[in-house]
């Protein structure tokens, strides 16, 4: 579980595009919390605090929102709108989770280790970067590490080889390949017989052609 938390205030005014722009200019981010068939809760969070943590947040990072008035919500970041030109976050969608109720989300895969096959001239190809899991919020991992140290040339690790904590069920197909070590193929250069033929051989061929023409 994550210790990330953000203070938030309820958004009761400044709705619409113009209102959102005013909030962004004031260093805030308009956001919405939805889930569990409840009416969405519109909030405002501090732009700097969120931006500083954004690079460390994933779809499986549990966040606590401390909303004015003493209300707390455990949420996941489901989506955010970014203005790349001005390097600002314009809006965030949070999904609320409930303790005691299972949730489904994607968890990033982190590859660790130096494969045996790479020391033999192979290359590691990481194919799968996240897997979908179902579990209680308390059991949700922030990441799943996959050790590829034992991979030899032309061998792979599948989802079926991944070990997760108790209470976590993997929903991604067990047949999906997570990573593979491939042997480098040597390029075979075909010789161009005409281009590489000795000059005297070419001369003989040309003479024969001229004789046939006469």
The tens digit of pLDDT for each residue in 139-156 reads 999 899 999 999 999 999
Apex CA 96: angle with CA 27 and CA 20, to 5°?
A: 25
The tens digit of pLDDT for each residue in 16-61 reads 889 999 999 999 999 999 986 678 999 999 999 999 999 889 889 9
- Torsion 137-142-144-145 (CA) sign: negative
Question: Phi first, then psi: what are they for 40, rounded to 5°?
Answer: -60, 145
Q: Which domains does the chain have, with CATH numbers?
A: 4-97 (2.40.240.10), 104-183 (2.170.120.20)
Look up the pTM and report it: 0.71
């Amino acid at each position: 579980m994550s210790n990330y938390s953000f203070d938030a205030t309820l958004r009761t005014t400044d709705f619409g595009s113009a209102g959102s722009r005013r909030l962004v200019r004031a260093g805030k981010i308009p956001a919405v919390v939805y889930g569990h068939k409840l009416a969405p809760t519109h909030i405002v969070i501090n732009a700097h605090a969120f931006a500083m943590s954004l690079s460390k947040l994933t779809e499986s990072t549990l966040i606590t929102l401390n909303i004015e008035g003493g209300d707390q919500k455990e949420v996941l970041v489901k989506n955010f709108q970014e203005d790349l030109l001005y390097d600002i976050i314009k809006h965030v969608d949070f999904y609320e989770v409930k303790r005691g109720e299972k949730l489904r989300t994607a968890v990033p895969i982190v590859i660790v280790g130096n494969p045996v096959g790479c020391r033999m001239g192979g290359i590691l190809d990481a194919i799968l970067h996240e897997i979908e899991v179902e579990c209680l919020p308390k059991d949700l991992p922030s990441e799943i590490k996959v050790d590829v140290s034992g991979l030899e040339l032309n061998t792979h690790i599948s989802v079926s080889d991944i070990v997760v904590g108790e209470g976590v069920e993997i929903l991604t197909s067990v047949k999906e390949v997570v990573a593979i070590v491939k042997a480098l193929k040597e390029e075979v250069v075909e010789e161009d017989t005409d281009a590489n033929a000795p000059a005297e051989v070419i001369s003989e061929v040309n003479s024969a052609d001229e004789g046939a023409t006469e």
